[in-house]
Structure 1
């Protein structure tokens, strides 16, 4: 794999992917870019890296765009601040703005999946002067409301603990994951992929019984079709090197985010927008009300696509379909 460089000028001819590091206020961000043309930032979710966009980079480049996939703060080769509060939403927004400027651009489209979708939405919300369009995969936009997130999550699940609450205490989830990173990742990916997830009616891995682990309800001995052994090895190697704390710290800032974003309570995203979700993704079922509210929350929505037979890992489970939708939408913006 090519080594990152520390230059603010494009180090490649646009035909192949290039790795680089750029300075941001909180440290440095590692990114992979391919292509020339209008800038498109791609933000991954948990627990992933820039590699979740490996199918989109060449497709967007071939369509005439400068596609840039980040290792979000706390992941991969990007900086990993020690303080939990360093992973608040406003810090991620500042990273994304700094990346655009480091790449010599004034504006960009931002596209995210999972937590990356929420980061993308808030990046567009807070900096509409820089981010002129937003694409959301997996997790729909839901404007801030008056309920503190941890209070809301505490009311979910009855006697069982919702996974976001389970992730709150530093060190707790790490103690479950890090003794067998590859096994935990394999189970998590399989449990949320349409071709390997447990049948309807099975206990959800998103709810943790008292004294148990999240992984106790993972699908075992199954590997999704989209996830090769080599790809799983590469992801496991990366997280074995970095640990999971950076990614988990995103969950540990939900209340800080709620406080920081108070001035934007109920605010819609007015830029041109796109949503792509999976039919069998829990995010699209839990947040069905948010999808129904798109006419008010996303007045610039071009289209909302719910992919039949697709799970959570949308752009990896259905790369060709996602590439077709994304490139068509991006071309409509130019």
Structure 2
């Protein structure tokens, strides 16, 4: 982590922690749940060594960035507003965007609302999900997967937080980051606070990494990150004017063949059938990484670094 500079900037009414390294065109990295700027440690070092300025914030509610107490302060307009303000503080008009998981969802909305600020987008794990005007997303998920689907479980304030606290922060982080179970994540009654996982850590995740994540979540808690999920239906209401709008930004999409999103019903078909390409006309051929699960930016860091550089180097 040598040479990575940490600072705090004022964006959209909150203080945001940012890690950065390098000089040149800006590559902006947005993390997912339950992650931090630290998720991009390998990419920051690689891209900064290749002539880019790598910038990775802790998103609203995470790590050393402020966490507003109201759940309604975590809509996509707040999240996109934070990132547009961050880009302004960097003194540039446009950035290359790289994002994963919830960061990827924020990235799609960035491309939808402010395509003028994004040169090109490398998206990991979560494809563009066009708005269905007929059904709220959480209602659709409950109908498809049942009440035990993790996003449905996350809706009740305090419930998931209590389960995570019971399990312990290190165990929660370890279990989530190392899970290789395909398909939609299901949390049975009481499952959020289940017993620790004694499986040894994989080669790409050290105890030091787990300890770093846990130390930050012990201070911030999980509520900020969980509030993203609790605004899914509200986001659906707020984004009605963008129904049917296509993403025109150049996009490279990369997922693991064991990714919980890719292996959930309808996603693989949507990605592989050509529907994804119809909604994102400037989408390059999709990369599906063999034997790789959800956290591909960490599990297959070198391969991801190469894909990022090869794509953004075209522009």
- TM-score under structure 2 normalisation? 0.93
Once residues 140 and 56 of structure 1 are traced to their aligned partners in structure 2, the CA distance between those partners, rounded to angstroms, is: 20
Match of 2:284 among 302, 306, 316: 302
CA contact (8 A) 2:145 2:184 kept: no
Q: Deviations over 1:2-61 (max 9, x none)?
A: xxxxxxxxxxxxx93111111111311111111111111100000000000000001111
Q: Does residue 1:133 correspond to 2:120, yes or no?
A: yes
Once residues 196 and 246 of structure 2 are traced to their aligned partners in structure 1, the CA distance between those partners, rounded to angstroms, is: 36
Q: How many residues matched?
A: 309
Once residues 57 and 144 of structure 2 are traced to their aligned partners in structure 1, the CA distance between those partners, rounded to angstroms, is: 32
Q: Does residue 1:187 correspond to 2:167, yes or no?
A: no
Q: Which has the higher contact order (CA 8 A, sep 6+)?
A: 2
Once residues 294 and 124 of structure 1 are traced to their aligned partners in structure 2, the CA distance between those partners, rounded to angstroms, is: 15
Once residues 128 and 184 of structure 2 are traced to their aligned partners in structure 1, the CA distance between those partners, rounded to angstroms, is: 23
1:213-252 correspondence runs (5 A) = 213-214=191-192, 216=194, 220-252=198-230
The corresponding residue for 1:6 is none
The corresponding residue for 1:153 is 141
Once residues 157 and 294 of structure 1 are traced to their aligned partners in structure 2, the CA distance between those partners, rounded to angstroms, is: 22
Once residues 85 and 73 of structure 2 are traced to their aligned partners in structure 1, the CA distance between those partners, rounded to angstroms, is: 16
Q: Deviations over 1:244-278 (max 9, x none)?
A: 10011110000111111111112211011110100
Once residues 153 and 216 of structure 1 are traced to their aligned partners in structure 2, the CA distance between those partners, rounded to angstroms, is: 23
Q: 1:152 to 1:185 in 2, by over 3 A?
A: same
Once residues 98 and 119 of structure 1 are traced to their aligned partners in structure 2, the CA distance between those partners, rounded to angstroms, is: 14
- Structure 2: gaps (5+ residues): none
CA contact (8 A) 1:144 1:267 kept: no
The corresponding residue for 2:299 is 317
Deviates more, 1:131-140 or 1:241-250: 131-140
Q: Deviations over 1:283-309 (max 9, x none)?
A: 112211331322211111123111111
Deviation at 1:216, TM superposition (A): 3.7
CA contact (8 A) 1:49 1:76 kept: yes
| 3-state SS of 2:305 partner | helix
Q: Does residue 1:291 correspond to 2:271, yes or no?
A: yes
The corresponding residue for 1:84 is 71
